[in-house]
Structure 1
């Protein structure tokens, strides 16, 4: 395991919540290491998103293993092949049976990066099945009155905003968002939330977004085990890194550290209905 890049002291500080992590994707020993260190690093809880049915099932198991700490979201990640109708029906039936156990529908969205890669390689890419998949997930969220956790960046976010309006879903969390100024303004006005990863320390596009997005609609996340660059290069992504993201956001906003942590913590609790 790699050491923490920062000497940021969090002892005695208000807690934070990792608003987006793929906890099921870690190796068992890495996951145990992370979970054992949460209290030390003032991480109270995490939103554990899922990418398919086995992932959902593992997220549910982890929530049972770490009650009150791991809050599972169930969905189908868009940066992979669309499931068959049989696979999708099986997933939706399982989600329906476990609706009371899920904090949100996610991770869902549209395959921006897969599509860009295909286009760069000269391959055709049919977006329509992904839109139809997303609509099925939004219908489920609407039926069960669940928030949605979205993978939707740049031009895709415009279509996703249209679909959220179509299905009257107002509780939407766009994780690790990037997009055009008019899309950002639209999302902010609609009350949608976004979350900042540790790249808020070194990515100018994210730093600028952090300057302008409404403070009452932001959270912090790791998207672990996705690795980061800058001061985090070579480190295993750990939920403790939200402390660094929170500190960076505080500096960008010109807020005292404790006030910023309180805002981020309360925003996450409010959005996800954590009592």
Structure 2
């Protein structure tokens, strides 16, 4: 019934009980899950998992906070090889993150430039392989959209964990991109995010957990799990004045059209 479009099943927080986490998700009606990678090692870990889990697909990519793990050109060839795996449905999680301090050896300007270079290379790869992209933004909106939007005729992006306004989202949706909501939409202080979820067109959004982070109410502050995407759907349904079944149907339809390889 529900499609969790962004759950970090490769997180170390799930290493001790992942089978139980997946069973709880299935019991809650989550029928499909996309697990985005953060680096090459994480991508390999997720692909090994997905080979044995029919309801899991993988996005492969270098997260902006892990951009210092790659240099030169060899990493892109390895990512290309991983992206050809039959369980890969997108390139991600990729983007820009200006919130965290630069890693050792980088000035702020050099770190931003390196992130942009890694992102652009992955956008080119996604376009080459005809894959859509999962996008990360943190305090980098203008720079991120400046790099991504020129690719709009070659790929679609989902701006994951969207926390912006409908005014920010509208130009993206017009170009065929999507936004995705996490459990933040259920928080009492959701504010702008809740309003965006209320008015976004039915064909313009997806839902996710971003597990193990950002658990929705009533689990806020605890480790998030893919099962909780049902709670996020219920929160959005209440905001929109729709049934949870309608939210599940709309977001599943959008996700099936966006991610490669689902029946």
TM superposition score category, shorter chain reference: 0.7 to 0.9
Q: Could you give the per-residue CA deviations for residues 60-81 of structure 1, whole angstroms, max 9, x where no partner exists?
A: 1111121x21101100111245
DSSP 3-state at the match of 2:4: strand
Aligned to 1:52: 39
* Consecutive unaligned residues in structure 1, runs of 5 or more: 1-14
Taking the TM superposition and a 5 Å limit, the aligned residue runs for 1:17-32 are 17-25=3-11, 26-32=13-19
**Equivalent of 2:91, from 85, 105, 122?**
105
Tell me, yes or no, if the aligned pair for 1:198 and 1:228 is still in contact at 8 Å.
Answer: yes
Following superposition, the deviation at residue 83 of structure 1 comes to: 3.2
Mapped partners of 1:100, 1:81: distance in 2 = 21
Aligned to 1:217: 204
Following superposition, the deviation at residue 124 of structure 1 comes to: 5.2
Aligned to 2:49: 62
Aligned to 2:122: 137
Whether 2:126 is the aligned partner of 1:147: answer: no
Mapped partners of 1:231, 1:256: distance in 2 = 19
Following superposition, the deviation at residue 82 of structure 1 comes to: 2.4
Q: Could you give the per-residue CA deviations for residues 23-81 of structure 1, whole angstroms, max 9, x where no partner exists?
A: 11133233121112232111111111001111010011111121x21101100111245
Whether 2:243 is the aligned partner of 1:243: answer: no
**Equivalent of 2:78, from 94, 97, 115?**
94
Q: Could you give the per-residue CA deviations for residues 104-135 of structure 1, whole angstroms, max 9, x where no partner exists?
A: 10000001321xx57xxxx9512111111110
DSSP 3-state at the match of 1:228: coil
Tell me, yes or no, if the aligned pair for 1:109 and 1:152 is still in contact at 8 Å.
Answer: yes
After alignment, is 128-137 or 188-197 more displaced?
188-197
Aligned to 2:68: 82
Mapped partners of 1:191, 1:51: distance in 2 = 25
After alignment, is 183-192 or 224-233 more displaced?
224-233
* Consecutive unaligned residues in structure 2, runs of 5 or more: none
Following superposition, the deviation at residue 179 of structure 1 comes to: 3.0
CA 1:182–1:229 in structure 2 vs 1: closer, same or farther (change >3 Å)? closer
DSSP 3-state at the match of 2:99: helix
DSSP 3-state at the match of 1:178: coil
Aligned to 1:125: 108
Aligned to 2:29: 42
TM-score (norm 1): 0.84
Tell me, yes or no, if the aligned pair for 1:207 and 1:252 is still in contact at 8 Å.
Answer: yes
Aligned length: 251
DSSP 3-state at the match of 1:237: coil
Please tell me the root mean square deviation across aligned C-alpha atoms, in Å: 2.1
Mapped partners of 1:205, 1:31: distance in 2 = 34
DSSP 3-state at the match of 2:51: helix
Aligned to 2:157: 172
Tell me, yes or no, if the aligned pair for 1:51 and 1:77 is still in contact at 8 Å.
Answer: yes
TM-score (norm 2): 0.87
Following superposition, the deviation at residue 244 of structure 1 comes to: 0.7
DSSP 3-state at the match of 1:152: strand
